[in-house]
Amino acid sequence: MSEETTAGTTLIFITEDGTEFLPAIISLQRTPIAPDIAGNLVQDLLETIEPIEANDIYHWLFGRIDRKVGIPDVKINMIFPATEVHIRKYSRQRLIMVTETPELYKSIVQPYIAAFPRSRFEWVYNILSHKVESHKILYEDPSPDTGFIILPDMKWDLKTVATLYLLAIAHAPSIATLRDLKRHHIPMLRSIRREVSRVVHEKWGINGAQSLRFYIHYQPSYYHFHVHVVNCNFIGFKGIAAGQAYILEDIISLLELSPPDGPTLLEKITLTYQLGEHHGLYRPMLQAQAALEE
């Protein structure tokens, strides 16, 4: 389907399991290989698979390429069964940059977000309710309005500090995107920055927020507010690119500059970002661009 050479990731699409049609998207990701064994690895044979975790339709496994090596060599991320939305999202697609005015947000984007069924985010609620992955929670503020959970992103192997990747997921379902953030959310955002910095220093020896990149996607992959946190020295993830990632500290600053009463600057500013041609907003936003250029 597609590949990310900088991250060592390849996506493949499987349409049949031998008995019935059940589409699945599988991501194969190479984990870092120790230099002393790199030359001895057999890279063309996957011998065993070890399940790691499952959450709703998302599954994570480790694959061993050579049993003699004795370490998991391939990280496998699987979506099964994959929906048509997943298939479109992970397929190679043309990207465009679109401009979203506050008016376009209200007329096109906000209704699009509101139409998403809760079932699309079931895996998020499974985490927030401790149904799955509770053993991986690094910190939790249980407040339903300003609380959040910090845990490793499943794309991280939990070992390589250089590629550290965490998520901070807000408890409040009312915050779908950065457009929904208000001034009273500033303490929550600051707390995310503070607690993540503390956790990574205590567990992995990373020194403070200056060594971390905090960012928010727009448009996000799922419409429940979350903050991405990665080691700032690692640039292998395409999600940190301009046109998709908005720096947390800049978002906090815009909220601080917003008036105490009335719309925030995040509600009033025009945002420019990338969209893939398979995204549900692609066609309506592309059509709307012509009017903006007149």
Reported in sequence order, the residue ranges of the chain that DSSP labels E, i.e. its strands, are 2-4, 9-14, 24-30, 48-55, 58-64, 74-79, 95-100, 139-141, 148-152, 165-170, 212-217, 226-231, 245-247, 271-276
Measured between alpha carbons, how far is 162 from 144 in angstroms, rounded to an integer? 33
Q: Is residue 133 a known part of a binding site?
A: yes
Q: Is residue 220 a known part of a binding site?
A: yes
Q: Is residue 185 a known part of a binding site?
A: no
Answer for the pair 77, 57: CB distance below 8 angstroms, yes or no.
no
Q: Is residue 204 a known part of a binding site?
A: no
Q: Is residue 135 a known part of a binding site?
A: no
CA pseudo-torsion sign 74, 75, 80, 86: negative
Q: Is residue 123 a known part of a binding site?
A: yes
Active site residue 130: no
Answer for the pair 161, 205: CB distance below 8 angstroms, yes or no.
yes
Q: Is residue 225 a known part of a binding site?
A: yes
> What phi, psi does 92 have (nearest 5°)?
-60, 135
Q: Is residue 148 a known part of a binding site?
A: no
Which residues are CB-contacts of 67 (< 8 A; sequence separation ≥ 6)? 47, 48
Active-site residue among 171, 226, 278, 279?
226
Q: Is residue 284 a known part of a binding site?
A: no
| Alpha-carbon torsion angle 230, 236, 237, 243, nearest 10 | 100
Q: Is residue 218 a known part of a binding site?
A: yes
Q: Is residue 221 a known part of a binding site?
A: yes
Measured between alpha carbons, how far is 138 from 203 in angstroms, rounded to an integer? 9
Q: Is residue 222 a known part of a binding site?
A: yes
Measured between alpha carbons, how far is 141 from 148 in angstroms, rounded to an integer? 5
- Of 206, 124, 112, 220, residue with least CA distance to 165: 206
Structure tokens at 43: 């890279």
Q: Is residue 72 a known part of a binding site?
A: no
Q: Is residue 130 a known part of a binding site?
A: no
Q: State the binding site for substrate.
A: 123, 133, 153, 155, 217-228
Give the residue numbers marked as catalytic: 226
Q: State the binding site.
A: 123, 133, 153, 155, 217-228
